[in-house]
Amino acid sequence: MRTWTKEEITELYHKPLMELLYEAASVHRKNFDPLEVQVSTLVSIKTGNCAEDCGYCPQAARYNTGIDTNELMSLEEVIQKGKDAKAAGSSRVCMGASWRNVKEDDDFDQVLEMVRSLNEMDLEVCCTLGMLTENQAKRLANAGLYAYNHNLDTSEEYYKEVISTRGYEDRLNTIDNASKAGITVCSGGILGMGEKDEDRIGMLYTLSLMNPRPASVPINALVAVEGTPMEDQQEVSIWEMVRMIATTRIVMDTSYVRLSAGRTQMTDEGQALCFMAGANSIFAGEKLLTTPNPEFVGDMALFNNLGIKPMPAYKHGPKPQINEAYKERSEEANEKIKWSRPGHKIERNEAKKAEAKASRKGEFEPRKVSSVEKI
């Protein structure tokens, strides 16, 4: 495994795009079948009312985004979602809950049963549940979890301009806890939040230093949702996405590179370029937690045009074995786990929080939509 310096990644990122594409495609072919793409389904098992202040996220309770919230799904609902995903061609189901961190309670016990049930359907099971202790990671591993998603989002330097309610170190510790439990890690970031090229490079550099490296690296384009602090951010261009995916493919040569949020903004030709650049995983289905996503039918039509086929489950790793020890709560259940709260204020986040508060009190006049295209 090559060790990259930040200067080397910077030089790579700024290569002429055609040269970068060729190199990325070559690296891709050395490590993967270029005609296979992993298809994952993302299921929001608990939506909204999140205590965090992530500037990009419509699930933050402090912002007024109009999303439909729901409490934790039932086990039966999740099993049906798994059956639907598998029938449509997904080999992985990722369950997302809008929690700040996992707690040793009945809800977590229910999630563990969901993990076990999906594992028994021969699906790769992934979760994204917020911050996670080492013992909680062990329980998830024992229940049959294959992967844990916890994105870095951006560089450590720019992170403080996006989120003020949790520290960057907490993200790194959660990833480390999942790795220690033998769970593969899924971690990447979001383009289009106002970051600079050096922040994208810095995030990649941090990911490249992890041991083991993340098995999956999602590259998201910001979906600017009205009511969030980032609602007016400019849409990321396809050229930026292709450049970032190509650079990620070369640096993270044996990791899946997942083309994630923002695909609805791309043409089929743009997505084809991303696959050429080394993307070999997608989220399929009509929603990514709370934002739109291309439907299965459209994805399969694109796959047919490109000669791509869905990747089978567990092609690059064994199916986790279930250990009944997952049912045993740890001593942490009686302790208050301390996660950091940096405490600084982000001006745009505070402004949107105040706007939402005024709106709920009936003091804020909603802005007028000037054209149908903006609805």
Residues flagged as binding site:
50, 54, 57, 94, 126, 186, 258
Give the gyration radius of the chain's Cα atoms.
20
Alpha helices for 89-196 (secondary structure H)? 106-119, 134-143, 156-159, 168-180
Does 186 qualify as catalytic in the annotation? Answer: yes
Q: Which of 139, 171, 200, 258 is catalytic?
A: 258
Tokens of 225: 């949702």
Dig out the tokens for 126 from the structure.
């992934």
| Distance, C-alpha 348 to centroid of its chain | 23
Write down the catalytic residue from 116, 139, 166, 186: 186
Residues forming a β-bridge with 43: 95
Our answer to whether residue 274 is catalytic in this structure is: no
Residue 122 φ/ψ region, left for φ over 0, alpha for ψ in the -120 to 50 degree band, beta for the rest? left
Where in 24-153 does DSSP place strands (E)? 36-46, 92-97, 124-128, 147-149
Separation between Cα atoms, residue 140 and residue 213, nearest integer Å: 20
Binding positions for [4Fe-4S] cluster = 50, 54, 57
Catalytic residue among 92, 94, 127, 263, which? 94
The two three-digit tokens of residue 281, written as one number? 């995983």
Q: Which residues contact 310 (CB under 8 A, 6 or more apart)?
A: 36, 37, 38, 39, 89, 90, 91, 303
Q: Which is catalytic among the residues 126, 127, 263, 274?
A: 126
For 310-326, the three-class secondary structure string (H helix, E strand, C coil) is ECCCCCCCCCCCCCHHH
**Of the candidates 125, 80, 91, the residue with the CA atom closest to the CA atom of residue 320:** 125
Residue 126 is among the residues annotated as catalytic for this protein: yes
Distance CA 253, CA 36 (A): 16
DSSP 2: P
d(CA 304, CA 274): 16
User: If you search the block for the tokens 């709260």, which residue do you land on?
Assistant: 341
Annotated catalytic residue 127: no
Active site residue 258: yes
Helix (H, G, I), strand (E, B) or coil at 229: coil
Calpha distance 89→72 (Å, rounded) = 25
- Show which residues are catalytic: 50, 54, 57, 94, 126, 186, 258
